[in-house]
Amino acid sequence: MRLAPALAALTISFIACGGAATPDEAPHGDAPPGATSPPEVAPAPSPTPAPTTETPGPTPEPALTAATCFKTLTGTIPGPDYDKFKPTIAKSCAGTQHQKISGVEKLVFLGDSVTTGTPPTLPNDFYRSRVGGEVRKRFGAGVEIADCSAWGARTDDYLEGKNQIASCFPSGGDAKKTLVVMTMGGNDIAAWAKSKLSTAQATAEADIAADRLRAAIDWLKEPARFPKGVYVVFANVYEYTDTSGDLLSCPAAALSGLSGTWPEGAPAVVHFQERFMEIATQTKTDMIFLLEHFCGHGYKRGDATLQCYRGPGAELWFDATCTHPNPKGHKEIAGLFTKIIDGL
């Protein structure tokens, strides 16, 4: 912030030399007295085999890392170190690639209002709608789609609170091969920021929230719940200040209780993002890089001194609420999820 080629066998043939008997010669057997035996002819020496060389094969490309994907975003503000968890990174840098998704029969959305969608963005432009359409194109029009996301949801709403998982899987699982897509964590961070928690307090809360995400994924990955299998793809958490930490860079932030700056929270937020990656690698699920791709498309995108600066033409991907994507943002989120689902 991230043949050896087959060798040809060399065969050498040896020819045996000898003379044919004539009628005047003694028959085969003992040589007559006084006769001398013909000298023995030594076999020809074996030629020395030509030396063979093994043609080297192509040098394998080094594994892609998050640091390589996002090397242009490095700077004075330290970002998450994802590579310490040794994830497999998708060639597109859209996220990780721990699953080979195929044969999807049911698509389920969980999460917060980013997934639910918010006005003024129209329903057909929600990332959820876009991903649903793409999944049906790839796996068939008969793919069942369910949405249990909710506005204001936090990580405790997976298995407690709003009980999203129980709502979407009332029987404790599903007989269909299922793909779960979700965004969650932004409301957790916003609550810590509004309370201006200390670094220690916010880090403790980050671990609690991450443990809730892990519990939700463990529930989904229990083999008996989905006999045909289940895939999970989730997002890390973006922010709208482009690493500036200026909570009021979005004019409407004050209306939601955000104000000033919160430098104490930066280490906790980085830790939170790293826990997301740790969970993805441990559970063999996938995480898209929402934070990294949205950096430079927030409310401080015009500040050339910030490490996320993408030039004067960078578009805004957030709407006036500060925390929700606008139509362009929803399109970008859908693209990231779709690339990981497609294995790109």
Ordered by start, the domain boundaries in the chain are: 98-342
- Amino acid, single-letter form, for residue 258: L
pLDDT reported for residue 32: 39
pTM more than 0.85 = no
Superfamily of 98-342 according to CATH:
SGNH hydrolase (3.40.50.1110)
Length of the chain: 344
pLDDT reported for residue 48: 59
Tens digit of pLDDT at every position of the chain (344 positions): 433 323 233 222 222 333 333 333 333 334 333 444 444 445 555 555 555 556 666 777 789 999 999 999 999 999 999 999 999 999 999 999 999 999 999 999 999 999 999 999 999 999 999 999 999 999 999 999 999 999 999 999 999 999 999 999 999 999 999 999 999 999 999 999 999 999 999 999 999 999 999 999 999 999 999 999 999 999 999 999 999 989 999 999 988 888 888 999 999 999 999 999 999 999 999 999 999 999 999 999 999 999 999 999 999 999 999 999 999 999 999 999 999 999 99
